[in-house]
Amino acid sequence: GPQRARGSVIGNINDVEFGIAFLDATITDSPNSDTRIIQAKITNVPRSLGPAMRKIISILNPIYWTTAKEIGEAVNGFTLTNAVFKRETQVEFAT
């Protein structure tokens, strides 16, 4: 499977527009188990929005899906989509 994932996040949080933020992730196999380790970083987000970003961790879900370790006949999203995948999501919380 892929060892790297990249994406962009566009939007605003609490009426603070942050333009385009960049998501960069590296994926490695865990040496001690049948799992994968994902380390992700989102850049170009105002520091004041850092705590709010923790509440929308679900933006990483496509990375989990596309890079999941394949075992037997169970394939990940990367294989399933032939490496062509785009996701657009809008999340809104009532306040």
Q: Look up the domain containing 56 and give its range.
A: 4-80
Q: Considering the domain boundaries, does residue 40 fall inside one?
A: yes
The span from the CA of 26 to the CA of 30, in Å, is 12
pLDDT (mean) for 53-63: 83
- The residues, any chain, with a CB within 8 Å of residue 94's CB and separated by 6 or more, are none
Q: Considering the domain boundaries, does residue 85 fall inside one?
A: no
Q: Considering the domain boundaries, does residue 19 fall inside one?
A: yes
Spatial strand order of the sheet with 36-43 comes to 4-13, 16-29, 36-43
Query: Which pTM value belongs to this model?
Result: 0.74
Of 33 and 93, the structure prediction assigns the larger pLDDT to 33
- Predicted confidence band at 22 (pLDDT cuts at 50, 70, 90)? very high
Domain count within the chain: 1
| Nearest C-alpha neighbor of 1 from the set 89, 74, 86, 61 | 74
pLDDT tens for residues 25-49?
999 988 888 788 899 999 998 888 8
Residue 38: its H or E element = strand 36-43
pLDDT (mean) for 3-16: 85
